Structure 1
Amino acid sequence: MSATDRRSFLARSAALAAVPAVAALAGSTPAHADTGTDTLPDYAPIPPSALGPAVNAQGYFVGRVRKNLYWVTDGTYQAAFLTTRDGVVLFDAPPSIGQNLKRAIDEITAANGVSNKVTHIVYSHHHADHLGASSLFGRHVTRIGHAENKRLLLRDNDPTRPAPDVTFEDRYTLRVGGERVELAWHGTNHTPDNIYIHFPGHDTLMLVDLNLPGWAPFDTFNINEDVPGSIAAPAKAMAYPWKTFIGGHMGRLGTRADMVVYQQYVDDLIDNIKKALVAVDPTPFFVKYGNNSWAAVKAYQAAQVEYASAPVIKKYTGVLAAVDVYTDSTTFLILESVRLDLGIGSQVHD
């Protein structure tokens, strides 16, 4: 089985394994649980450049980023860890990787003859899909996050995500075992607590849930809570000196070139959205639907989204993976931000 085939098989197996759990949470049986029934529309092929290394038989890949900095992925989520003379510093703990984080750390530390004890966990932000395996490492680990991260985790009261022991407001320098990691908060973006994690001795930056290298953003612009802040984040990231980028998702690492492509993609969407806000006439939709205002607004905005997104989807097909899957929903969220946050397209009634 080729590496590409293995990636596809394991990803499909993981998705199918999740179906019963999702159905149980929903309180129903999925209508198309039959693996032979394909209800998805046809999408553009995934560019080979978007794919990373194949995962092993246990469902993970661990590799060196630079020197003693390593990354772990299950093909969908990513974490990182730094080995030091005093132990291991872990950056995020996605539950989808789970116990494989320990296996990856054990594999690398055994090969290098260093301690496998995790002494610190740095939280990129509070979301459970990136921290839900934190509790696997016990109570005697120093957890570090932004001050807002602690507030949000105390609010959520999730035992799988213990609140951080050490917090900071703007900047924090973590020094462990002769290593230095710079943590910084540059304003709200994906979440109010999402931080920039810079490894100056390893030419690497970790910024989670903003740019997913090689891929278009996830649904509704990665579900970013602050759209203007998220649009501004890549420029702040590029101000750091780094060569390798850890984005928290999908199966490969990123480069500065990946960040440039992502910025161009978002800029193109914004340019087209501004045009759509002027070019698409709302009148026919309100005439058609009469006093059903929501139906008129829905149809009108769908037309704006189509106008803005279609050229971008065409331009980036073959450049960014799955650009035809979620660009429409990303366009809608950015359109609403351009309209509501920037005031473009709003008109004062005469």
Structure 2
Amino acid sequence: MDNHLFNPAGPLGFPKAEVADHPADPAHAYPEYLESGELEKKGYHVEEIGSGSGFYWVTNSFYDAAFLRTGQGVIAIDAPPNLGEFMLSAIEEVTDEPVTHVVYSHWHSDHIGAAAMYGPDVKIISHQITHDLLKRWPDPLRPLPTETFTDEATLDVGGVKLELSYKGENHCPGNIFIYAPQQKALTAIDIVSPGWSVFFHCDASENITGWIDAHDQILDYDFDVIVGGHQTRYGTRADVLAHREYVHDIVDYSWEVLREEVGSELMVEAGPRKRWTWAENQFNYMANQVTHRTLTKETSTGQKWTERLGGASNMTKYHAWTIMESIRLHRTHDDYQRRDGKSAYIW
């Protein structure tokens, strides 16, 4: 498809990304099950993970979720509609236990929008904010939670435990951490996509400062495996450390570029009556600077980010724009307009 057909808006729309412009994703982003034909045959992959038994990861290679077998019923974590009833198939593949409990990670439809499939009799646990948001915007496919908490809670079914924790807004209000201590398995949705750069604009997160901090909050847990909600595989502590490094590179270069005030000549070029043209060019120019510096640097392993994270060449510019704008809004401006026209930066 040529760019004219792809983008009838022409220069007012987005250009078509060309495959040839991007390097191949690193091999570790594509685990063995993708080569086995399993997804084409079954529609899903299920795998027991963690250092104990009974915790399972389910994926269709773009969305993933988890469940815990307790001996007295299954605790399901999330219900992505993109995975849908294949989640039920995965549960039925490994146990005869019914689903008795469902934990909502957060309120977004792309992660719990098939929850009605678990039936009307399950107990649904979420943060109070998730309950309130779902009550405000009802969705029959996302039944209201039957139990809520505000800070910390423990779900205990037959002695098998999940520790639920809310550490403040990150990806969205009410997004919780779900930890299986016996299995050392953590579910933290839409913060890290193991082996990959996350989706556009820091996974469409609503509080970028909180989202950045969530990487450190994840690392406070004693976990062997992490379910991130997206892409091709579950992760490890090394995956979280890698993504944290990547994000902090973008943060550092965003500070650097903002303080340089690069591209101010674009305002003169646009003229006084084309201020949104100037703004678009100015912010895109700065985001391009951040993107270039992030993707050309040598990382802690001696590799570039395109060699460490799948999709980094596609997604970094969107993260750079979003993180740079978040810093501009959430952090100090370093200075403000003085009546004497002088500048006195605090740094």
For normalisation by structure 1, the TM-score amounts to 0.86
State how many pairs are aligned. 312
SS at match of 1:273: helix
The one of 157, 178, 193 equivalent to 2:159 is 178
Partner of residue 94, structure 2: 108
Give the Cα–Cα distance (whole angstroms) in 2 for the partners of residues 305 and 345 of structure 1. 19
The one of 323, 330, 344 equivalent to 1:334 is 323
Range with greater deviation from structure 2 (56-65 or 122-131): 56-65
Partner of residue 60, structure 1: 44
Q: Counterparts in 2 of 1:278-293, with a 5 A limit?
A: 278-290=259-271, 291-293=273-275
The one of 182, 204, 217 equivalent to 2:198 is 217
The one of 194, 205, 210 equivalent to 2:186 is 205
Give the aligned residue type for 1:341: H
What's the CA shift for 1:346? 5.2
- In structure 2, stretches of 5+ residues that fail to align are 7-15, 297-303, 340-347
Give the Cα–Cα distance (whole angstroms) in 2 for the partners of residues 349 and 219 of structure 1. 37
CA 346–224 in structure 1, closer or farther in 2 if over 3 Å, else same: farther
- In structure 1, stretches of 5+ residues that fail to align are 1-29, 33-38, 110-114
What's the CA shift for 1:92? 0.4
RMSD of aligned C-alpha atoms? 1.8
Give the aligned residue type for 1:335: M
Partner of residue 28, structure 2: 49
Partner of residue 17, structure 1: none
Give the Cα–Cα distance (whole angstroms) in 2 for the partners of residues 131 and 198 of structure 1. 18
What's the CA shift for 1:40? 3.4
Partner of residue 190, structure 1: 171
**Cα-to-partner distance string for 1:257-280 (whole Å, 9 max, x where unaligned):** 111111111111111111111224
Give the aligned residue type for 1:318: E
Give the Cα–Cα distance (whole angstroms) in 1 for the partners of residues 263 and 308 of structure 2. 33
SS at match of 2:321: helix
Give the Cα–Cα distance (whole angstroms) in 2 for the partners of residues 231 and 260 of structure 1. 12
Give the aligned residue type for 2:293: P
Structure 1 contact 191–224 (Cα < 8 Å) conserved: yes
Give the aligned residue type for 1:214: G
Q: Counterparts in 2 of 1:60-209, with a 5 A limit?
A: 60-66=44-50, 67-109=53-95, 115-209=96-190
Structure 1 contact 280–303 (Cα < 8 Å) conserved: no
Structure 1 contact 131–161 (Cα < 8 Å) conserved: yes
What's the CA shift for 1:44? 1.6
SS at match of 1:202: coil
Range with greater deviation from structure 2 (266-275 or 52-61): 52-61
SS at match of 1:159: coil
Give the Cα–Cα distance (whole angstroms) in 2 for the partners of residues 87 and 129 of structure 1. 25
Structure 1 contact 92–122 (Cα < 8 Å) conserved: yes
**Cα-to-partner distance string for 1:288-340 (whole Å, 9 max, x where unaligned):** 11121111011111111111111212330111001011111111111111111
Partner of residue 320, structure 1: 309
Structure 2 contact 190–228 (Cα < 8 Å) conserved: yes
Give the Cα–Cα distance (whole angstroms) in 2 for the partners of residues 62 and 31 of structure 1. 39
SS at match of 1:337: helix
Identity level (%): 34
**Cα-to-partner distance string for 1:90-147 (whole Å, 9 max, x where unaligned):** 00000111110111111111xxxxx331000000000000001100111100000000
Give the Cα–Cα distance (whole angstroms) in 1 for the partners of residues 142 and 220 of structure 2. 31
Residue 240 of structure 1 pairs with residue 240 of structure 2: no
Structure 1 residue runs of 4+, over 4 Å off? none
CA 60–119 in structure 1, closer or farther in 2 if over 3 Å, else same: same
Give the Cα–Cα distance (whole angstroms) in 2 for the partners of residues 318 and 97 of structure 1. 29
CA 311–82 in structure 1, closer or farther in 2 if over 3 Å, else same: same
Give the aligned residue type for 1:333: T
Partner of residue 297, structure 1: 279
The one of 257, 271, 274 equivalent to 1:276 is 257
Give the aligned residue type for 1:303: Y
Structure 2 contact 56–66 (Cα < 8 Å) conserved: yes
SS at match of 1:317: helix
SS at match of 1:149: helix
Give the Cα–Cα distance (whole angstroms) in 2 for the partners of residues 283 and 229 of structure 1. 30
For normalisation by structure 2, the TM-score amounts to 0.86
CA 266–86 in structure 1, closer or farther in 2 if over 3 Å, else same: same
SS at match of 1:182: strand
Give the Cα–Cα distance (whole angstroms) in 2 for the partners of residues 243 and 321 of structure 1. 21
**Cα-to-partner distance string for 1:169-191 (whole Å, 9 max, x where unaligned):** 00110001220110000000001
